[in-house]
């Protein structure tokens, strides 16, 4: 959880300060960010629906028609997922490893946003970083950015500088590692969210959950396009656009029926 260094609170009374009062108290001079993000979350719901439809349609089509389910990419990725599920549900969970990756992801995104991390602390029960800035991407990064999967890819790329990673067993090991680390990311994310994570409160829980779902699904779509030779960027984009058009037409027809009924 990212935290900003505390500063001495300024006195609310200043000479010449203008206050708008009502019976209930001080009226806001601007719309709260959480209200705006709630509306943004509502507008993200159609995009999430269209992306969900496009992803599962593409996955089903390539699995049934192109036999994607018998490819090495699918089997070794699934092997990594199954292995991690056995560990997660059958053995003591490595919570400290998750907490370390969680806070490291916060810190990484602070650096990507041009900020500085002043303190980094973890324990089995939780952790936090102290940084000079925070925003939606920094707060939610651990829930959509699988840092251990990124680390696996970087290790694979680093090994490619010293040996031929295009031959067995290197590609298969990468698929299994991505499957294991992605499952690690998703299981811990789904396990921790219901525990009332403070990170979700930064932009509002509804907006945060919608964005987390959308970005994780986008990551899955990216992995599917890279793993399946039959699915291309252009083809997936065309399906996404067509589904968006169909969804818009259906919503328009439904609104017209309601208006006629009224």
Mean pLDDT to the nearest integer, 232-256: 93
Confidence category of residue 26, pLDDT binned at 50, 70, 90: very low
Question: What is the pTM assigned to this prediction?
Answer: 0.84
Give the C-alpha separation, 140 to 44, whole Å. Answer: 16
Mean pLDDT of 236-256: 93
Distance CA(48)–CA(38), nearest Å, equals: 15
d(CA 92, CA 180): 16
Beta strands in the chain (DSSP E): 2-3, 21-22, 25-26, 117-123, 126-131
Two structure tokens written together for 203: 């932009």
For range 16-20, the mean pLDDT: 37
Instruction: Find out whether 71 and 175 touch, Cβ atoms under 8 Å.
Output: no
pLDDT at 168: 77
Q: Are 214 and 41 spatial neighbours (Cβ–Cβ below 8 Å)?
A: no
Output the pLDDT for position 3.
Answer: 67
> Quick one: the chain helix, strand, coil %, rounded to 5?
70, 5, 25
The percent of residues above 70 in pLDDT, for the chain, comes to 89
Q: What is the mean pLDDT of residues 26-33?
A: 57
pLDDT band for position 170 (cuts 50, 70, 90): confident
Beta bridge partners of 6: none
Lowest mean pLDDT among 50-64, 135-149, 164-178: 164-178
Neighbour count for residue 90 (Cβ, 10 Å): 7
> Quick one: tokens of 242?
């067509």
pLDDT digits (tens, 9 = 90+) for 63-94: 888 888 888 889 999 999 999 999 999 999 99
| Cβ–Cβ under 8 Å, residues 132 and 115 | yes
Q: How confident is the model at residue 24 (pLDDT cuts 50, 70, 90)?
A: very low
pLDDT for 31: 61
Torsional class of 143: left (φ above 0), alpha (ψ -120 to 50), beta (otherwise): alpha
């Amino acid at each position: 959880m990212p935290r900003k260094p505390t500063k001495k609170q300024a006195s609310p009374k200043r000479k010449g300060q203008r206050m708008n009062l009502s019976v209930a108290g001080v009226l806001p001079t601007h719309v709260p960010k959480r209200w705006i993000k709630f509306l943004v979350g509502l507008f993200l719901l159609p995009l999430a629906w269209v992306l969900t439809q496009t992803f599962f349609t593409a996955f089903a089509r390539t699995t049934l028609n192109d036999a994607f389910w018998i490819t090495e990419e699918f089997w070794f990725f699934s092997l990594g997922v199954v292995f991690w599920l056995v560990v997660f549900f059958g053995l003591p969970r490595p919570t400290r490893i998750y907490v370390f990756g969680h806070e490291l992801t916060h810190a990484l995104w602070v650096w990507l946003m041009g900020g500085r991390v002043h303190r980094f602390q973890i324990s089995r029960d939780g952790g936090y970083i102290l940084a000079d800035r925070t925003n939606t991407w920094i707060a939610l990064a651990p829930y959509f950015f699988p840092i251990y999967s990124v680390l696996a890819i970087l290790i694979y790329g680093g090994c490619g500088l010293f040996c031929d990673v295009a031959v067995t067993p290197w590609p298969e090991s990468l698929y299994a590692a991505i499957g294991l680390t992605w499952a690690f990311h998703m299981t811990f994310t789904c396990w921790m969210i219901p525990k009332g994570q403070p990170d979700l409160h930064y932009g509002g829980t509804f907006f945060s959950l919608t964005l987390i779902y959308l970005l994780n699904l986008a990551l899955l779509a990216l992995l599917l396009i890279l793993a399946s030779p039959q699915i291309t960027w252009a083809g997936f984009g065309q399906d996404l656009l067509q589904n968006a058009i169909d969804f818009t037409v259906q919503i328009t027809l439904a609104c017209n029926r309601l208006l006629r009924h009224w």
